[in-house]
Amino acid sequence: MEFHTNIWYLVKTKPLMEEVAEINLSNQGIEYCLPRFNGGKREGKVIFPGYIFVKPKTGNTFQSIRSTRGLSDFIRFGMAFAIASNETIDELKEAVDIMTDKMDQTNLYQNGEQILIKSGPFKDFNAIFRNYDADQSAIVLINFLRNKLQVRVKLDAIS
């Protein structure tokens, strides 16, 4: 079978061989998408272990892709291949970027860590980080008139 389309296919990799598949697909000039975490504690880790999206070039054969070192087989549902459009892959890449940004923000501070409020009504106050809150905010404790107050501040207002 020869590919004549501009479609992404989901392919199963051999166990722990995503990087090997990535190198070999690249060497063959075949476009692929292997979503990875771009930051934080999981920097570089594959998001969907065991799977890679492949976009064969016109003229590539099913067998040439399938026999690429590191790959196992195309994912199918019965006789139908698991496919994705360019838009779906673009949305996936965008979702990975958003997820990475959120992970970076939620891994910045630990409970009990000393922080500085750099903007807002409590600017230049030292505080103690308690936990993350919804809507890009954090709960912090500040000393105000000899009392500890629990205050909600935006994440971009602390350092």
How many Å separate Cα 90 from the centre of its chain? 13
The domain covering 8-106 belongs, at the CATH homologous superfamily level, to NusG, N-terminal domain (3.30.70.940)
The pLDDT tens digits for 29-85 are 999 999 988 766 667 888 899 999 999 988 888 899 999 999 999 999 999 999 999
pTM equals 0.64
For the domain made up of 114-157, the CATH class stated in words is mainly beta
pLDDT tens readout for residues 101-134:
666 555 677 788 888 989 888 888 889 988 887 7
Report how far Cα 103 is from the mean position of its chain's Cα atoms: 9
Q: Which two tokens stand for residue 57?
A: 């070039």
> Which one, of 77, 19, 25, lies nearest residue 56 by Cα?
25
Nearest to 100 by CA among 145, 29, 154, 47: 47
Q: What is the pLDDT of residue 111?
A: 83
Ranges for all domains in the chain classified under CATH 3.30.70.940: 8-106
CB 74 within 8 A of CB 81: yes
